[in-house]
Structure 1
Amino acid sequence: MRATTRYATAGAMLLAALPAAPVAAAPAAAAAEARQGAGAAETIGTMIAAARARARGIAFGDCPEREMLPASLRCGTFTVPLDYARPLGPQTELAVSRRAATGDAPEHQGALVYHPGGPGAASITFPLLGEWAAWRKTARAYDLVGYAPRGVAPSPALSCRPPGEAAETPNASPEHPSPAEKRARIARARTYADGCLRAAGPALRHYSSLDGARDLEVLRAALGEERLTFMGTDQGAYVGALYATLFPSHVRRMVFDSPPDVRRLGYRSGPARARALESRFEDFLSWIARHDAVYGLGTTPGAVRSRYDRMRDEVARKPAGGTVGPGRLQAAFLGAVAYDDYWAVRAAALSAYAQGDPEPLIAQASPRPYTAKGDENADAVRTAVGCNDGRWPADWRVWDRDHTELARSAPFAAWAEAWATLPCASWPGPRHRPLDVRTGRGGLPPVLILAAERDGVTPYAGAVELRRRLRGSALVTERGAGSHGIGGGENTCVNGHLETYLLTGRVPGTDTGCAPHREPNPVSLHRAVPRGDDGPEHLLRGRAAF
């Protein structure tokens, strides 16, 4: 008897004694994992965990006071195994939130679960979007559900170093690292990887997108949903794509917003992202140049970049406020490359610095002690999931050669990519082989993919590839735009397709385009406010990983 058949038979016999066991997806899930060399034990373990979760449900109640959430939001937990091959072994509780549908009973379509990606972000506040106009109709039909994936607070949080410990020295060069800086980075990356192992122990290998997809199946069951309605952004979209591959019969509707390229996970993702970030940085510089009357930084992208380079060199010699060196400067501007609603405030800070006033830059780029714990938690999960999801070379010479070459064409982000992922070179966990994401024709209900054509964080090619692999899916493209995560944002055309799909299940043509949303208005220093800090679109965004 083949191993897959043996596990499936044993699992079916065991689950016969459990209430409402979701066995329909077992053959597809077991076959999908078996094709990749994965053990069918994890599939059976997922079935057992889902059956237990369905029997227990989720006891929603008041949210913890420390979360400072409104009464309209209800909170609870559901339980998942740390290791799905040992479903009755050690468990962990994941936090979940829900805002009940506001419409009448005939309008109700169940729960809509959102995963913000990152990795390292939680969607506990996602249900609050139901109060915003762009989501009001959807909120009438759905209970909006957010959760904190494994390792992410307020679920039991992973941390690999003391919060607030400096990740870099203020004068470290992000574009032209010296040999001494490279040696320091290598040592720091090894220390960080070792810290992750000390913190998580044997469970470290189970911080992965594949385990996230299994957790999603348990959440579906705990919510009492026969089939899943889901939206995911960035790595959250990848988790959803894995779910669709493993459990296609449990999919009702799925939205994949700004998905990564499933062909280029792990080390292979870096070069494409660095080049896309470089192109998007050029878009930002061009926008500043078009508004030279406001910022006075130059009338060409080259002139603006020269001004940026001078500022970088100056803070390398003397960090602004003693804390903002070139590394923190670059981190602040990477945010603007990811989301154009930061363009005005970052351009204003650059303009003020050029005129002798460093205070706006210090305010925007300095470390914030009150976010240190959350920042470290997000970094730890991003590192663990990223290292576990793909393959990474262990030889520093490979990293040095490749990123030195990459920096010639994409200097802005090439080394930032290297430093963000370098712990994976000495990662203490196993080197996973990614699951092959794909479905056959008729194997999956119609699903919707959203992407911006010039997204620097998850390059557009990833959305095109996912549409090809998920047969029957439809892709909506925001042409000429580059903000990361576009569903529920500023583009009414994109939002219209999203709302129609969630409410009716209808998808547009296979490839549908929307005109770009309006570019940010240039504003003076005194009026520059980063709308994204508290705007509704940021409830949908995970931490962009660089």
Structure 2
Amino acid sequence: MIAATLIAGALAAPAASAYEGRDRDRDEVRGQERQQIGAAIAATRAAEAGVDWKDCPTDWGLPKPIQCGWVTVPLDYAKPFGKQIKLAVDRIGHTGTPEERQGALVYNPGGPGGSGLRFPVRVTAKNPLWVKTSKAYDFVGFDPRGVGHSAPISCIDPQEFVKAPKMDPVPDSEADKRVQRGLAAAYADGCAERSGEMLPHMTTPNTARDLDVIRAALGEEKLNFLGVSYGTYLGAVYGTLFPDHVRRLVADSVVNPSREKIWYQANLDQDVAFQTRWNDWLTWVAKNDAVFHLGDTRAEVEEQWRTLRATAKKDPLGGVVGPAELIGYFQSAPYYDSRWVPVARVWSQYVAGNTQALVDAAAPDLSDTAGNASTENGNAVYTAVECADAKWPRDWRTWDRDNTRLHQKYPFLTWSNAWMNLPCATWKSKQHTPVEVTTRKGLPPVLIVQAARDAATPYEGALELHKRFKGSRLITEENAGSHGVTGIANPCVNDRVDTYLLTGEVDRKNVSCAPHAAPKP
């Protein structure tokens, strides 16, 4: 009887909405097909135009012999002959012999909202991790659409954006939640007012199409790509849309590419992983109590954190560092092992009576107008891409339920993350259906690198991408959690990345590596 009722219901009124859903999916597919045709047209034009390489503008802060240029792409790939925007690119030539050259290696550091223009500096700085690879490849960076020098977008006055102290992200009442909801809605409105023309086109698939146009402008038949963090999702979407244009693809610290994760659930998963890595750091601080004097058990160090938070909430340190600013500073420790010692040292100085050290570290520099503009731009792009890539819950009750539940066990980042993403609940521009990341004909083996305890991109994302990209290989750095594994000295990882980029070879099976050296206070 119940089954019959369900079947009858499925054949009645809901069928109309089901057809509407199919129509929407069909429209999305047709739109993607038009955009792919537009991308082919734009790539053909770019191949003919190339890049007019010149010395970089002085205010870009890039040392010689790095060169800079521009690649022109359509704002809307469905209208390839419509409005165009220019993307900033830079490069440094390979350091080896002509016979050693294997093309260009293009880089994206993540975000969304990160600039890749500093990538060639790894060569000028003679970074030892990249000496072998730089003999074979030109190192190429770029500002993705909306970022930095590439038709930058904005959602709020930068000086207003960095003003401190901000409201405590952990709400004490429903009234606090209403204020935060109002701030998020105002931010979404600001994005529409200041950057409305760009917003519908600020998607990962469009950035992947931009990447293919850059490939063509560089004169490369196939792309060599290194993506970190969000850059792995960009690479995964590129590998799905342009599988036969991939030569080498390294995905380092992987965003879960599942449609069900992009982007609402991915951020909830991140809250759990951040708490895990935060606890790892607190445990390490406790083990080094002889140096930091913050407590010799994790519980004692955690209590110091709660005390610091409460103190800053009651009376912001230096008048500018409240709980929000503390989280902004302290979250770098669970992000990167390289931040374990500096953050613990500043905290230790505070407990010893040096409040100014913590104020200097955590407070915004209102005099740094260029830096503040870059910070605001990065946040605007982050918001624009994540809000445009996928459909987000519109009902506040969903957000309230999920984040209230998570906060009970994973309090470090949950509410802060929620407010950062809440503009997507009232986003004015179209929210698309994410690309179904999958293996398509022509895709070569992809190399995936991941720390098992990564906070920003939980390990499950690497497993999911490995499952979706057939023939890929996964290198796991066990018992480690630093974000961006290819930038850390660990020969087990570094040698395999070099081998892959230089020869295309991967191990016959997935590899587990011991962790890199732990930070020493």
- TM-score, normalising length: structure 2: 0.92
Question: Does the CA-based 8 Å contact 2:169-2:419 persist in structure 1?
Answer: no
Instruction: Check the 8 A contact 2:166/2:322 in 1, yes or no.
Output: yes
Matched, 1:116 2:106: no
The Cα shift of 1:500 comes to 0.7
1:429: Cα distance to partner?
1.2
Q: 1:134 aligns to what?
A: 129
Q: Secondary structure of the residue that 2:68 maps to in structure 1?
A: strand
Question: Does structure 1 retain, via aligned residues, the 8 Å contact 2:164–2:364?
Answer: no
77, 87, 92: which one aligns with 1:94: 87
Structure 1 position 252 matched with structure 2 position 247: yes
Aligned-residue offset at 1:443: 3.6
What residue in structure 1 maps to residue 409 of structure 2?
409
How far apart are the structure 2 equivalents of 1:503 and 1:166? 44
Q: Secondary structure at the match of 2:48?
A: helix
Tell me by how many angstroms 1:168 deviates.
7.3
1:331 maps onto 2:328 in alignment? yes
> What is aligned with 2:41?
48
Q: What is the CA–CA distance in structure 1 between the aligned matches of 2:172 and 2:255, rounded to whole Å? A: 28
Equivalence for 1:355? 352
> What is the distance in 1 between the residues matched to 2:516 and 2:208?
32
Given candidates 202, 211, 214, the residue that maps to 2:209 is: 214
How far 1:218 sits from its partner (Å)?
0.4
RMSD across aligned positions (CA) = 1.6
1:178 to 1:491, Cα distance in 2 relative to 1, 3 A: farther
Rounded to whole Å, the distance in 2 between the matches of 1:492 and 1:35 is 44
Distance 1:366 1:386 in 2: 27
Which residue pairs with 1:3 in the alignment? none
What's 1:527 paired with? none
Q: Tell me, what secondary structure is at the counterpart of 2:449?
A: strand
Q: Does 1:395 align with 2:392?
A: no
Q: Given the alignment, which residue of 194, 197, 200 partners 2:189?
A: 194
Residue 254 of structure 2: SS of its match in structure 1? Answer: coil
CA distance in 1, matches of 2:244, 2:97: 28
Does the 8 Å CA contact 2:221/2:245 hold for their aligned counterparts?
A: yes
Residue by residue, what CA displacement relative to the aligned partner does 1:6-26 show, whole Å, maximum 9, x if unpaired?
xxxxxxxxxxxxxxxxxxxxx
SS at match of 2:155: coil
Superposed CA offset, 1:150-187 (max 9, x none): 01112221111001214676263233443232122111
Aligned to 1:173: 168
Partner SS for 1:194: helix
Counting only pairs closer than 5 Å after superposition, residues 148-297 of structure 1 correspond to structure 2 as 148-166=143-161, 170=165, 172-263=167-258, 264-297=261-294
Matched to 1:377, the amino acid is N
Which letter maps to 2:158?
P
Quick one: distance in 2 between partners of 1:158 and 1:202?
10
Residue 21 of structure 2: aligned partner: none
Contact 1:175 1:413 in 2 (8 A): no
Seen in structure 2, the aligned counterparts of structure 1 residues 168 and 403 have a Cα distance that, compared at 3 Å, is: farther
Taking the aligned partners of 1:65 and 1:37, their CA distance within structure 2 comes to 44
Query: Secondary structure of the equivalent of 2:494?
Result: helix
Secondary structure in structure 1 of the residue aligned to 2:225: strand
**What one-letter code is carried by the residue in structure 2 that aligns with 1:110?**
G
User: CA contact under 8 A between 1:328 and 1:365: conserved in structure 2?
Assistant: yes
Cα 1:503/1:156, change in 2 over 3 Å = same
1:447 aligns with 2:446: yes
Q: Name the counterpart of 1:540.
A: none
For residues 509 and 448 of structure 2, the distance between their equivalents in structure 1, rounded to whole angstroms, comes to 10
Stretch of structure 1 that moved more, 166-175 or 99-108: 166-175
Distance 2:243 2:26 in 1: 13
CA distance in 2 between counterparts of 1:75 and 1:115 reads 16
Deviations 1:397-439 (A, max 9, x none): 2111111111011111110110110100000111211110010
Matched to 1:452, the amino acid is A
What stretches of structure 1 of length at least 5 have no aligned partner? 1-31, 523-546
* TM-score, length basis structure 1: 0.87
Is 1:386 matched up with 2:386? yes
> What residue in structure 1 maps to residue 493 of structure 2?
494
Q: Is the 8 A contact 1:73 1:99 kept in 2?
A: yes
Partner AA of 2:227 in structure 1 = G
2:155–2:380: 8 Å Cα contact kept in structure 1?
yes
- The residue aligned with 1:61 is 54
Q: Could you tell me which residue of structure 1 aligns to residue 473 of structure 2?
A: 474
SS in 2 for 1:145: strand
SS at match of 1:117: coil
Aligned partners of 1:267, 1:68: CA distance in 2, in Å?
36
Pair 504,467 (structure 1): closer, same or farther in 2 beyond 3 Å? same
Contact 1:168/1:327 (<8 A) preserved: no
Q: Is the 8 Å Cα contact of residues 175 and 412 (structure 1) preserved in structure 2?
A: no
1:229 is paired with a residue whose SS is strand
Overall identity of the aligned pairs, in %: 45
Report the AA paired with residue 383 of structure 1.
T
- The alignment status of 1:434 with 2:431, answered yes or no, reads no
2:460 alignment counterpart? 461
Please give the secondary structure, in 2, of the residue aligned with 1:84.
coil
Partner of residue 308, structure 1: 305
> What displacement does 1:368 show?
2.0
Q: Mean alpha-carbon deviation: is it higher for 279-288 or for 133-142?
A: 133-142
Structure 1 CA distance, aligned partners of 2:172 and 2:224?
A: 46
For 1:84, the aligned partner's letter is: Y
- State how 1:75-90 maps to structure 2 within 5 Å: 75-90=68-83
C-alpha distance in 1 between matches for 2:152 and 2:269? 31
Q: Structure 1 176/355 Cα, relative in aligned 2: closer, same or farther at 3 Å? A: farther
1:530 maps to which residue? none
Gaps of 5+ in 2: 1-24
SS of aligned partner of 1:157: coil
Structure 1 stretch displaced more, 168-177 or 355-364: 168-177
**Aligned equivalents of 1:102, 1:418: Cα separation in 2:** 45
Could you tell me which of 332, 340, 343 is aligned with 1:343?
340
Per-residue deviation at 1:36? Answer: 4.7
Partner of 1:255, secondary structure, is: strand
132-141 vs 272-281, greater mean Cα deviation:
132-141
